[in-house]
Chain A
Amino acid sequence: MEQLRFIHCADLHIDSPFKGLDHLPQALFKEVKQSTFKALKSLVEVAKTKQVDFVLMVGDVFDQTTQSVYAQMQFLHACEQLNEHNISVYVSFGNHDYIQRDFVNIAYPANVHLFKEEEVTTHVFKKNNQPLATIYGFSYQNQAVYENKTSLFKKTTETPYHIGMLHGSVEQQPEHDTYAPFRLQQLIDKDFDYWALGHIHKRQHLKESPPIIYPGNIQGRSKKETGEKGCYYVELDKASAQLTFMPLQSIRFEQLTINVSEISSIQAIEQAIFKRIQQLGTKGKSFVWVNLEYYTKEVASFYYEGMLADIIDFINEKMMDKKDWIWIQSIDLKGHGFIRKEDYQDGDHFLAQVLQLQESSEEVDQAINPLWKHPKARKYLADLSKEEKADLLESAENILLYQLTRKQNL
């Protein structure tokens, strides 16, 4: 039986903006802008090197934000390159690029096969003129698809392989809107050879046999999307599936947590951070969010007095010249450090009373309304989630802890 070799990727989010990046130097900013394009290029390179049969792109090729024509052209160019190497491309659109259907008038080369319908349709892949695989898929016609689409996936051909492309999430999966929800068992029941999933940015193997896979996105875009990002190179035959993860990201997003309990001078903090940064350096260009835990009062003081910003500048400057630069985006305090809230919680004293306060969500809203309801600001500000509110309250507490207890011991 002929083996199938293909690439499974999803959530390319070409030209997507990034979260949590600010005050970047021009050069870095440029790299950031180009990172999704670079990742796309890398994808093409991998496809070419591996001489795959086809590439599956399971939704969210583009971001929902309006695309520059430039981005469209970059994608077209990628398709053309694949076409030159006789590699087919199967594309479905997801919740982020449903709008992209409008761009079908772009003259995609013949190797590009679009799933334009919201109904599940098929494309048959032929190798040496023999039908080898049937690929099933659908595209979002609107921003959201809430119904379960699994029932629409039905084997319609006699090709040796059947591959499903599904941009959606497991029912009740938190963190994401459950678009095109499915249950794992439903997919397993289809008796397909491979389920190419999309939508979840975190790489996940829901099942190994048959492979039901989220390859994650190909380029991280916020500090939440850390580590390597890329696609799967799949070698499939009837007996087994060989999945190889191929990192594609051009810039990594990393979080560093450093124990600074033994540290009370600014130089020591800098040294500690720099040491860890250098260790990271081997992994390629990265944006780093540094968290200091078990911090001393001094460190807290440095933090609240804005003295850590100098460290950031200092280290960033040092790293800038390197090819695989690392850019510290922020240094934050994590947890409570040496100040133990429990110490203060009991008793009648003021701080104890502060810590005993339990603000409701509405109270938080009320407090922040002057800004959140400000006519100019409100369009840029989303309602805060519970978690976010809790985070904010904790930060507020931390500040008060720091402020109300400082200087006494000096």
Chain B
Amino acid sequence: MKIQHVEIYGFGKWENKQFDFSDQSFIILSGENEAGKSTLRQFILFILFGMPPRERKVYLPKKGGKLGGRISVKTEEDFAFTIERMHDRNKGEAICYTADGVTHDEDWLNHKLSGINKDTFLSIFSFDATMLSRLHQMKQQDIGEVLLGVGMTGTDQIYLTEKWLEQQLQDYFKPQGKKPKINQLMDALAEKQETLSKLEQDATRYKEKQYEIEKEKRELDQLYERQQALQLELQRNKQMMQQYDVIASFQTIKQELENYPDKLEFPEQGLERLEQLNYLLYPLQSEINMLQVKIEKETTDLKKINKDLLTVEEKKAIEDTLSDTIRWKQYKQDLTSKYKEKKQQEQEINHVINQLQLNLNFEDLQELSLPFGTEENWIQLKEERQELYQAITKTDHELQVKDGRYQDLLVEQTKIGEQLLPPAELDHLKQSIEKEEEVIRQQEQVSGIESQRNTVKDFSHQKKRTANLISIIGVALTAMIGFLALILEEQMWFIIAGSFLLLVIFVRWNMHQSIKSMNRFLMEVPINKHSRVLTDEALSERKQLLRDQETWNEQKEAVTKEMKEIKKNRLQLEETKKFHSQRQQLLKQKINEQIEKFPVLKGIAVEQWPKLYHHLEALLNQMKKYISLSDQITLLKQQLDDLEDDIKQTYHKQASESADISDTIEMIKNNLRQAIDKTNLLVHKKEDKEKNLYQLKNQLEERQAKIVPLQNKIKTLLELANVSDEESFFKKGQQKKDFDLLYKEYKAYQNQLNLLLSKDDWSQIDQGEQVVKSEIIAKYETTNDAFDENEQRIQQVQQNVSDLKISIKQLETSQVLLDEKHRYYQLQNELQQQTKQWAIYQLAKNKIEATKHIYYDHYLPTVLSHTTAYFNQLTSGNYLRVLFDDQKGELLTEDKYGIQFEVHELSQGTRDQLYISLRIGMSMFIKRHHNMPFFVDDAFVHFDATRLRNILTALSELANTSQIIWFTKENIPSYCLDNKNVRIHRI
């Protein structure tokens, strides 16, 4: 088919525009951007294939005017017709006009187009740059597949569709997958099914549960029944237990009652009646008793009064005695005053005695008498004593003086003794002096003294030794004596020690001196062999010492003489003293005689005696007065005692019973007066008593009369009770009473038990069956246990029932199963939907696969042969063949050296050429049945000159069989212009 003429009424920017393509096969439509190339292309597509209204609207002419146009075409068979379409006519459907003037509709047109629609047309007969650029963006490894698809459809749609389907299928389902929708659903369903089947099991158990609950309910009924029976039994047992005491009592009473006699005779209300009678009787009896006692007492009293009453004589005597007592009282008063006086006198005497501090008491004074001459005697004694005392005192003084002088002399004598050397020493001294004097004489003679030196030396040594020995012994001795002195604490020894020490020192010193002198002598002697022992000084010294010793001896003799004189005087004095002592002794004897005679003098100095005498004389006078008073008293007392005796005598006679010997007169007086008063009182009392006694006797008689009928009645009662005395009556009465009480109790228990116990229990007990408490308890407990057990069972079954009820109720009201079921089916639905969707994709994929295989087998070889020709031409003979690898399902190219390349191994330019070749090859194949014009739309923009030339050459060859319409904005290569087929339309 070739387009002959294009007429645009209005389409986009085109209006009333005509293009004439008649008998042109390679049409170049050239123009700048926005010139309207694309619009023209769309217009041609619109007229040929129609356009949905919405798309059409885009091309409505801007200035109004009609949208539409017509195209005249001519088929291969030279059949020409014109297609016209208007936007607003017949829904944009085509009207075709044929030469015979007949118009045809869309269907006719479709038929003429042999099923080529816009899509197929575009995919097969239209080239543009977009596909090429898309191809450039393809992934290397996909390029072969894409180009293969191009070989089949002219586009990459197969590739894309397959990819898309694959993706969808993957999204829906993978045999081993987890994530795809269907896999997820399957898992969810499996899970849901499990839940569901569990719930369904529950639902099917509903029936079982109903059976179960029925069963349980039946059991419950039985249990209730049993519980009731047990309850009754339990109650009975409990009753028995509670009433056990009553039952026991009842039985005891019953037994007790059996002990009583069958018949008890006793008057009705006997005890009360008797009591009533006694009640009346007792007071009467007690009154009688009381009256009798009273009468007796009154009688006795009367007797006693009569006895106590005094006779007239007795009364007179008593009254006389009373007057005596008054007299006695007067005497008594006198006596008392005398006593007082006497006492005073005695006190005065004692006072004086005390004042004088005499060794004399009152009694001594009574004895004391002072004979004549006593006073003178006492004065003489006083004087003699004084004289003697003075003489003795004088003698004692003289003795004392003499003793003092003697003592002084003794001391002096001792002193002198100390100064004196012992006679041996004195001799030695005398000798040494003599010797010296002799030496002096010898010196004057000076003779060979040297020979004597050694002798002297030896002597010196010896002496030295001796001196040492002496000093050692001396010191030792001194120490010993000192020690002795310490022990004895005797001054004498100390002195001896001291002296001894001095002596030793002295001896030592002396010896030393002598040795020294000896030594000196020895020293000198050698020079002067007969030199002196002593110096001149030492010699004179010694001479002086000798003179001193002679003086001391003289003094010693004088002292001794005086001492003898004193001793002689003393003896004379002591003789005198002795004489005085004898006189004193004599005097003392006289004094003692006096003292013995007058003890009062004892302890009183003799000098005081004369003075004392006067005092004693006064005292004795007072004593005389005192004695006279004592005599008066004695007389008065005698009189008083006599009177008292009289009175007492009379009193005792009168009141011999009450009288007491010790009773004083006062008491007697009182007693007697009382006796008189008493007698007066008794007289009155006697009268009263007699009167009272009479009344009492009357009362007694009255009571006794009242008692008699009562006693008779009592007697009758006793007879009725068939007893002899009241005691028996009471005993029997009590028995009767007890019986009645027991019987009453018995009846009460009987009633109580009859009411409380079951008939059986009661009749058993009434018949006397023994009831044992432990048995009752045991029975009760057994029943109770059974009851509890049953109760528990009931609770258990009740629990079961309620559990079952709950679970049944739950099943009845639970919508869980409902929910789960619906969810399950919902999921299942979903799964079915999804699987269907999956199946659709799967089938679609299969369809593509199948179609591809058909293509491979039937069409692809033809397409590829065309492709090979063009590819060869386009690559200037570099590539010889395009092949299909059955096994891999891939395209292969073979270069002029026979080396095969997979598509993705080709350079991009070569690939583009392969694409163009495939498209053309494809078109060549398709156009066997559908020869349509080719639209080429700036497809080769990027091609270099050589390639462009090659392709244009190829296209111009193609133009021999097909019309080509090339839309371009480029300059047309000049070689194109040479081609006779080419027509250029500039727009």
Residues of A within 8 A of B (CB): 15, 17-24, 29, 32-33, 65-73, 102-103, 105, 262, 264, 296-298, 338, 342-354, 357, 359, 363-364, 367-368, 370-372, 374, 376-377, 380-381, 384, 388, 392-393, 395-397, 399-400, 403-409
Known contacts A344-B120, A403-B157, A408-B122, A354 near B847 by CB under 8 Å: yes
Known contacts A352-B115, A409-B122, A68 near B207 by CB under 8 Å: no
Choose among B173, B199, B847 the residue that contacts A396 (Cβ–Cβ < 8 A).
Answer: B847
Cα-based distance from A367 to B154 in the complex (angstroms):
28
Known contacts A68-B203, A350-B158, A409-B119, A396 near B841 by CB under 8 Å: yes
- Interface pair B829/A19, CB less than 8 Å apart: yes
By a CB distance below 8 angstroms, the chain A residues around B855 are 350, 353
**Is there a chain A Cβ closer than 8 Å to B54's Cβ?**
yes
Known contacts A21-B829, A68-B818, A70-B811, A392 near B836 by CB under 8 Å: yes
- Interface pair B846/A18, CB less than 8 Å apart: no
Report the minimal beta-carbon distance from B569 to chain A, rounded to whole angstroms: 175
Known contacts A347-B929, A349-B926, A22 near B117 by CB under 8 Å: no
Known contacts A380-B831, A392-B836, A70 near B842 by CB under 8 Å: no
Give me the 3 closest cross-chain CB pairs, A-B, nearest first: A17-B825, A68-B817, A346-B115
- Interface pair A347/B843, CB less than 8 Å apart: no
Report the minimal beta-carbon distance from A296 to chain B, rounded to whole angstroms: 6
Report the minimal beta-carbon distance from A297 to chain B, rounded to whole angstroms: 7
- Interface pair A380/B189, CB less than 8 Å apart: yes
Tally inter-chain residue pairs, CB-CB below 8 A. Answer: 222
By a CB distance below 8 angstroms, the chain A residues around B821 are 15, 17, 65-66, 68
- Interface pair B124/A367, CB less than 8 Å apart: no
Residue of A20, A297, A392 with most chain B CB atoms under a 10 A cut-off: A392
Beyond A17-B822, A69-B808, A351-B119: 17 further Cβ-contacts under 8 Å? A17-B821, A18-B829, A66-B817, A105-B207, A346-B114, A347-B116, A347-B929, A353-B855, A357-B850, A370-B175, A371-B842, A374-B175, A376-B190, A392-B836, A399-B844, A400-B847, A403-B164
Cα-based distance from A180 to B835 in the complex (angstroms):
34
**Is there a chain A Cβ closer than 8 Å to B123's Cβ?**
yes
- Interface pair A396/B843, CB less than 8 Å apart: yes
Known contacts A70-B811, A370-B175, A105 near B158 by CB under 8 Å: no
Known contacts A17-B824, A343-B117, A374-B175, A105 near B929 by CB under 8 Å: no
Cα-based distance from A18 to B855 in the complex (angstroms):
45
Cα-based distance from A347 to B818 in the complex (angstroms):
57
Report the minimal beta-carbon distance from B117 to chain A, rounded to whole angstroms: 4
By a CB distance below 8 angstroms, the chain A residues around B815 are 33, 68, 70
Tally B residues with Cβ within 8 Å of A.
Answer: 83
- Interface pair B822/A67, CB less than 8 Å apart: no
Known contacts A102-B207, A349-B926, A353-B855, A364 near B828 by CB under 8 Å: no
Cα-based distance from A136 to B623 in the complex (angstroms):
183
Residues of B within 8 A of A (CB): 52-54, 110, 114-120, 122-124, 152-155, 157-158, 160-161, 164-165, 173, 175, 182-183, 186-187, 189-190, 199-200, 203-204, 206-207, 210, 808, 811-819, 821-822, 824-833, 835-836, 838-844, 846-848, 850-851, 854-855, 859, 925-926, 928-930
Report the minimal beta-carbon distance from A152 to chain B, rounded to whole angstroms: 30
Chain A residue nearest to B840 in the complex (CB): A395
Chain B residue nearest to A69 in the complex (CB): B811
- Interface pair A367/B846, CB less than 8 Å apart: yes
By a CB distance below 8 angstroms, the chain B residues around A72 are 206, 812
Known contacts A22-B833, A71-B818, A349-B124, A367 near B53 by CB under 8 Å: no
Cα-based distance from A342 to B116 in the complex (angstroms):
10
- Interface pair B203/A400, CB less than 8 Å apart: no
Say what secondary structure dominates the interface of chain B: helix
Cα-based distance from A404 to B159 in the complex (angstroms):
9
Report the minimal beta-carbon distance from A14 to chain B, rounded to whole angstroms: 10
Cα-based distance from A351 to B116 in the complex (angstroms):
11
- Interface pair A297/B52, CB less than 8 Å apart: yes
- Interface pair B812/A347, CB less than 8 Å apart: no
- Interface pair B53/A262, CB less than 8 Å apart: yes
Known contacts A69-B814, A70-B814, A344-B120, A404 near B175 by CB under 8 Å: no
What are 7 A-B pairs at a CB distance below 8 A?
A33-B819, A347-B930, A351-B119, A359-B846, A370-B173, A400-B161, A403-B157
- Interface pair B822/A32, CB less than 8 Å apart: yes
Say what secondary structure dominates the interface of chain A: helix
By a CB distance below 8 angstroms, the chain B residues around A405 are 119-120, 123, 157
- Interface pair B153/A349, CB less than 8 Å apart: yes
- Interface pair B164/A408, CB less than 8 Å apart: no
Cα-based distance from A371 to B177 in the complex (angstroms):
12
By a CB distance below 8 angstroms, the chain A residues around B832 are 380-381
- Interface pair A353/B822, CB less than 8 Å apart: no
Known contacts A22-B826, A32-B822, A338-B52, A371 near B118 by CB under 8 Å: no
By a CB distance below 8 angstroms, the chain B residues around A364 are 843
- Interface pair B817/A353, CB less than 8 Å apart: no
Report the minimal beta-carbon distance from A369 to chain B, rounded to whole angstroms: 10
By a CB distance below 8 angstroms, the chain B residues around A345 are 115
Cα-based distance from A353 to B836 in the complex (angstroms):
24
Report the minimal beta-carbon distance from A191 to chain B, rounded to whole angstroms: 41
Chain B residue nearest to A382 in the complex (CB): B832
By a CB distance below 8 angstroms, the chain A residues around B811 are 68-70
Cα-based distance from A354 to B152 in the complex (angstroms):
12
Report the minimal beta-carbon distance from A395 to chain B, rounded to whole angstroms: 4
Known contacts A404-B161, A406-B157, A22 near B835 by CB under 8 Å: no
Chain A residue nearest to B160 in the complex (CB): A403
Cα-based distance from A397 to B843 in the complex (angstroms):
8
Known contacts A33-B818, A399-B844, A408 near B123 by CB under 8 Å: yes
Choose among A23, A348, A351 the residue that contacts B859 (Cβ–Cβ < 8 A).
Answer: A348
- Interface pair B118/A409, CB less than 8 Å apart: yes
- Interface pair B814/A18, CB less than 8 Å apart: no
Residue of B825, B833, B855, B928 with most chain A CB atoms under a 10 A cut-off: B825
Report the minimal beta-carbon distance from A120 to chain B, rounded to whole angstroms: 27
- Interface pair B926/A400, CB less than 8 Å apart: no
By a CB distance below 8 angstroms, the chain B residues around A354 are 847-848, 851
Cα-based distance from A404 to B123 in the complex (angstroms):
10
Known contacts A380-B186, A396-B841, A408 near B119 by CB under 8 Å: yes
Chain A residue nearest to B107 in the complex (CB): A342
By a CB distance below 8 angstroms, the chain A residues around B52 are 264, 296-297, 338
- Interface pair A371/B182, CB less than 8 Å apart: yes
By a CB distance below 8 angstroms, the chain B residues around A403 are 157, 160-161, 164-165, 844
By a CB distance below 8 angstroms, the chain B residues around A399 are 165, 840-841, 844
By a CB distance below 8 angstroms, the chain A residues around B825 are 17-19, 65
Report the minimal beta-carbon distance from A104 to chain B, rounded to whole angstroms: 10
Cα-based distance from A125 to B124 in the complex (angstroms):
80
Report the minimal beta-carbon distance from B850 to chain A, rounded to whole angstroms: 6
